Amino acid sequence: MQVPAQVEYERAGSVEHALTLLARYGPAARVLAGGHSLIPMMKLRLAQPEVLIDINGITDLCYINLTGTQLRIGTLTRHAQLLESSVAGEHFAILHDAERVIADPIVRNWGTVGGSLCQADPSEDLSAAFAAMKGTMIIHGPDGSREVSAREFHAGPYETVVGSSELLTEIRLPIRPGGGSGYRKVSRRAGDWPVVAAGAALLLDGDVITDAGIGLTAVGATHFAAAEAEGFLRGRTATPQTLARAGQIAAENCRPVSDQRGPADYKRHLACELTTRVLGVAVARARGLTT
């Protein structure tokens, strides 16, 4: 029987209240969002916080809003809410592609967007999706709020730049006309973590790729991104050959390791293939084709 070790529990009613509690308890405290990573880790003693600060009562951190140029997602938004959001899907097909294959419908009911990002699992899906979309994270702390780019959010496996007295509150995604995006994942069975997954967000001017974002997960890509392949694509015409070459470059520059989900060379092959395919999906969507 797996049960967490003894722990104290506080319930935060607002962002300010959560910050006060975080300041009071310091590094001994952990934020509790959906708990779908933290509670399993506590059962295994991989995490042993002295105090949990439950943010589930801060319902105003649960939203998906469209401003003129941005989609804003509150940290406490559940995976299921993102999947159901037509405004999110309309502007970022990649979000619906990814959410459809993150865990299973029941886990998606409680797991949160912000909790996933803060967990920073090296195989996490949304980190790759937000890297592709070049999102921005809003972090609140004792001295106010700061913005961190998705490309600077992760400090390493299971580590982010969110300090022990800080709270991630929001993710912002830039909306740009002429864009197309997608997400493709290979996993061992339905509802499982990826063996490898790739996300792409492209901007097209006619046939020319004016900006490219490529996210990769589970292959040790720096900041979940394929920066070299992005650089290669910028300014090039979107032909099948160009996309395939970008896939190769992405695969050459990641660092997969062999584990129970597969050997490293297989993962590298998947990184190439999935990147190529998802770039094709993003191009087709930017051209207004349904895929």
Partner 1 sequence: MKVTLTVNGTEYARDVEPRLLLIHLLRDELGLTGSHWGCDTSNCGACVVWLDDTPVKSCTVLAVMADGRRVLTVEGLANGASLDPVQQGFAQCHGLQCGFCTPGMMLTARWLLNNNPHPSPYQVREAISGQVCRCTGYENIVKAVLWAAEYEAAEHGAAEHGAGG
Ligand X SMILES: Cc1cc2nc3c(=O)[nH]c(=O)nc-3n(C[C@H](O)[C@H](O)[C@H](O)COP(=O)(O)OP(=O)(O)OC[C@H]3O[C@@H](n4cnc5c(N)ncnc54)[C@H](O)[C@@H]3O)c2cc1C
Binding residues for partner 1 (CB under 8 A): 1-9, 11, 32, 35-36, 39-40, 42-43, 52, 54, 56, 80, 103-107, 109-110, 190-191
**3-state secondary structure (DSSP) of residue 29:** strand
* Binding segment toward ligand X, per CB under 6 A, in 8-16, 63-71, 100-108, 172-180: 100-108
Select the residue interacting with ligand X from 12, 19, 21, 32 (CB under 6 A). 32
**Phi then psi dihedrals of residue 138, to 5 deg:** -105, 125
d(CA 61, CA 35): 16
SS (H, E, C) 81-129: HHHHCHHHHHHCHHHHHHHHCCCCHHHHHHCEHHHHHHHCCCCCHHHHH
Q: Is 154 in the site for ligand X (CB under 6 A)?
A: no
Q: Is 137 in the site for ligand X (CB under 6 A)?
A: no
Q: Among 30, 151, 223, 261, indicate the residue that binds ligand X (CB under 6 A).
A: 30
Strand 136-141 vs strand 144-149: parallel, antiparallel, or unpaired?
Answer: antiparallel
Residue 128: count other Cβ atoms within 10 Å of its Cβ: 32
**Residue 174 Cβ vs partner 1, minimum distance, rounded to whole Å:** 31
Q: For strand 136-141 and strand 51-54, is the pairing parallel, antiparallel, or unpaired? A: unpaired
Both tokens assigned to 21: 């509690």
Q: To the nearest whole angstrom, how small is the minimum distance from the Cβ of residue 189 to partner 1?
A: 9
Q: How far apart are CA 128 and CA 110, in angstroms?
A: 20
Candidates 99, 124, 170, 230; binder of ligand X (CB under 6 A) is 124
Does 215 contact ligand X by CB under 6 A? no
CA pair distance 160, 117, nearest whole angstrom? 8
Cβ-based nearer residue to partner 1, 60 or 205: 60
Edge-to-edge strand list for the sheet holding 8-11: 8-11, 51-54, 29-32
Scanning residues 178 to 197, which ones bind ligand X (CB under 6 A)?
191-193
Interaction between residue 161 and ligand X (CB under 6 A)? no
Does 118 engage in binding with ligand X (CB under 6 A)?
yes
Among 77, 85, 112, 276, binds ligand X (CB under 6 A): 112
Please report how close the Cβ of residue 257 comes to partner 1 at its closest, in angstroms. 23
Binding site for ligand X (CB under 6 A): 30-38, 75, 102-103, 107, 111-112, 114-116, 118-119, 124-126, 162, 167-168, 191-193
